[in-house]
């Protein structure tokens, strides 16, 4: 089997070795909701939190340690509370493409193993009034993800306020954590259009008994803050974004087991043409990070503005759920004229074991799945099983810009062994056509088979 290496073998080997080491150290915490009994406890079982309190002696420092969705440390008077969490994803799979697509992207075909994510985050709460969050990605290129400070108390009219590097309020799928997605990767239009993380200020709140949420923010377009480049990015942003999102729950029953979610988002993007960070480009991976090839791509557009519109729809009826989003981008380009690009996705999933997707009414996004039965083969418990399908489409052709069109069909199978460990299997059929930017593709096909081991704590 040919191996498609996206980066030097030594770096890849180090990343995978680190991932395996972390898994070996942390798997017991994820698999077991209870630790083995202390020999002095007469065979009784203790919770992980009780084990931490008794086995780790923090009394000289006056600290309280326990486990609650992550490792937590509280100061003696609980004026400082710290939560440490993390996630890791190891992907493997194979991509097969037809002759035309292989000619355009010679290294597309082949097998791949990749440490997709190795992320550590810390959240500190000071005097129950201020939150500070730092999240760093260590896989591949070291990168600062979240880095913000926020008020835990609501300010009249302004709601809850955050300042720092964070996601802009745009797109249900983008705002849903990567560890809680139904599929291994986000859909074509979400990756192409959603602004993602930038440096700015955000105001948000929930209304009408958490049946409605709103968020609005202003952001410098700094983009990714890679370690070693963050200072330059912050010093020279290539423009600013004004983004807003509103969601509603016209139907919400049984604590979220049945619901209808509607959402609408808008982003105005202003760009500086003379910035060293470049202008606007719409591109995406083929719903797989086993390759760095972007099968459709507008290349960089010389423009001073863009407008993005996003509409959201989600419906949950017990174990059955549907989700869909529509994206439209309007770009004012001085050389190519005004351009329009668009895309959508629609997906459905079903839990064979009776669970349902969990919804956070305070933020209007989906959250972590918790199986009814933790996987325990000796007790006949199988965890949670979910099947899913998705159709996504992205059109990056308009005027003189012919970045291509892509239609993807994805089938997925998820096995949640417990709230912390999940195995994922995705098959993706990608069809690319009408791409005239270099390299050109008139009718290309690719089949991707991929799997993931996901661990969170």
Domain boundaries, the chain: 85-117+168-456
If pLDDT is split at 50, 70 and 90, which confidence band does 428 have? very high
Mean pLDDT to the nearest integer, 74-96: 93
If pLDDT is split at 50, 70 and 90, which confidence band does 37 have? very low
220-237: pLDDT as tens digits: 988 778 776 767 677 777
Two tokens, residue 28: 């017991």
Mean pLDDT to the nearest integer, 45-69: 63
Query: So what's the pLDDT on residue 50?
Result: 59
Q: Are 441 and 104 in contact (CB under 8 A)?
A: yes
Closest C-alpha to 244, from 216, 264, 220? 216
Q: Report the distance separating Cα 263 and Cα 361, nearest Å.
A: 13
Which string of DSSP letters, residue by residue, matches 41-90?
Answer: GTT--EEHHHHHHHHS--GGGT-EEEESSSEEEE-TTSSEEEEEEEEEEE
Q: Are 182 and 193 in contact (CB under 8 A)?
A: no
Q: Report the distance separating Cα 87 and Cα 83, nearest Å.
A: 14
Of 36-50, 70-84, 93-107, 373-387, the one with minimum mean pLDDT is 36-50
Query: So what's the pLDDT on residue 110?
Result: 83
Looking at the chain, the whole-number percentage of residues with pLDDT higher than 90 is 68
Lookup result for tokens 């983008």: 174
Closest C-alpha to 48, from 72, 22, 84, 77? 72
175-198: pLDDT as tens digits: 999 999 999 999 999 999 999 999
List C-alpha distances in Å: 344 to 7, 311, 365, 394. 31, 9, 18, 7
Mean pLDDT to the nearest integer, 370-378: 92
**pTM, entire model:** 0.87
55-65: pLDDT as tens digits: 555 555 678 88
Query: So what's the pLDDT on residue 12?
Result: 52
If pLDDT is split at 50, 70 and 90, which confidence band does 148 have? very high
Q: What's the alpha-carbon Rg for the chain, to the nearest Å?
A: 23
Domain 85-117+168-456 fold is Porin (2.40.160)
Two tokens, residue 125: 């709460």
Q: Report the distance separating Cα 147 and Cα 166, nearest Å.
A: 7
Find the helix or strand (DSSP H, E) in which 203 lies: strand 197-207
Task: Tell me what the pLDDT averaged over the chain comes to.
Answer: 87
Residue 162 zone, left/alpha/beta (φ > 0; ψ -120 to 50; rest): beta
Q: Are 273 and 133 in contact (CB under 8 A)?
A: no
Query: So what's the pLDDT on residue 41?
Result: 42
Q: Are 339 and 396 in contact (CB under 8 A)?
A: no
Query: So what's the pLDDT on residue 375?
Result: 93
Query: So what's the pLDDT on residue 65?
Result: 83
Residue 318 zone, left/alpha/beta (φ > 0; ψ -120 to 50; rest): left
* Residues across the chain: 457
Q: Report the distance separating Cα 362 and Cα 210, nearest Å.
A: 6
Q: Report the distance separating Cα 232 and Cα 277, nearest Å.
A: 10
Mean pLDDT to the nearest integer, 384-402: 96
309-346: pLDDT as tens digits: 999 999 999 999 999 999 999 998 667 778 999 999 99
Query: So what's the pLDDT on residue 141?
Result: 76
Lookup result for tokens 């931490």: 52
């Amino acid at each position: 089997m040919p191996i498609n290496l996206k980066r030097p073998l030594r770096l890849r080997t180090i990343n995978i070795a680190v991932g395996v080491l972390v898994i070996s150290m942390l798997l017991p915490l994820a698999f077991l909701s209870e630790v083995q009994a202390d020999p002095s406890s007469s065979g009784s079982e203790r919770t992980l939190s009780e084990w931490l309190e008794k086995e780790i002696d923090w009394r000289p420092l006056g600290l309280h340690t326990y486990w609650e969705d992550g490792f937590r440390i509280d100061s003696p008077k609980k004026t400082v509370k710290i939560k440490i969490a993390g996630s890791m994803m190891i992907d493997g799979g194979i991509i097969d493409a037809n002759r035309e697509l292989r000619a355009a992207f010679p290294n597309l075909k082949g097998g791949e193993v990749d440490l997709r994510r190795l992320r550590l985050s810390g959240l500190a709460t000071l005097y129950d009034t201020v939150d500070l969050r730092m999240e760093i990605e260590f896989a591949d290129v070291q990168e600062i993800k979240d880095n913000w400070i926020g008020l835990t108390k609501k300010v009249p009219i302004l709601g809850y306020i955050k300042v720092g590097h964070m996601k802009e309020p745009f797109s249900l799928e983008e705002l849903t954590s990567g560890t809680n997605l139904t599929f291994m990767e986000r859909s074509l239009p979400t990756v192409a259009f959603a602004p993602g993380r930038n440096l700015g200020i955000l105001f948000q709140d929930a209304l009408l008994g958490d049946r409605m949420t709103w968020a609005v923010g202003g952001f410098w377009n700094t983009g990714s803050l890679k370690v070693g480049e963050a200072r330059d990015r912050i010093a020279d942003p290539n423009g600013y974004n004004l983004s807003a999102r509103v969601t509603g729950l016209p139907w919400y029953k049984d604590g979220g087991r049945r619901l209808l979610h509607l959402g609408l988002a808008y982003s105005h993007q202003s760009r500086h043409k003379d910035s060293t960070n470049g202008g606007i480009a719409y591109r995406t991976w083929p719903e797989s990070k086993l390759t760095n090839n972007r099968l459709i791509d507008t290349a960089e557009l010389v423009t001073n503005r863009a407008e993005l519109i996003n509409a959201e729809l989600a419906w949950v009826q017990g174990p059955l759920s549907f989700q869909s989003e529509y994206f439209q981008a309007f770009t004012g380009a001085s050389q190519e004229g005004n351009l329009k690009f668009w895309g959508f996705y629609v997906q459905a999933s079903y839990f064979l074991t009776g669970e349902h997707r969990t919804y956070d009414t305070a933020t209007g996004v989906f959250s972590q799945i918790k199986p009814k039965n933790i996987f325990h083969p000796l007790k006949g418990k199988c965890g949670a099983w979910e099947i899913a399908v998705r159709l996504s489409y992205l059109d990056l052709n308009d005027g003189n810009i012919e970045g291509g069109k892509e239609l993807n069909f994805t089938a997925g199978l998820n096995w949640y062994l417990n709230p912390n460990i999940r195995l994922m299997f995705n098959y993706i059929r990608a069809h690319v056509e009408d791409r005239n930017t270099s390299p050109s593709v008139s009718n290309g096909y690719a089949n991707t088979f991929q799997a993931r081991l996901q661990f969170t704590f």
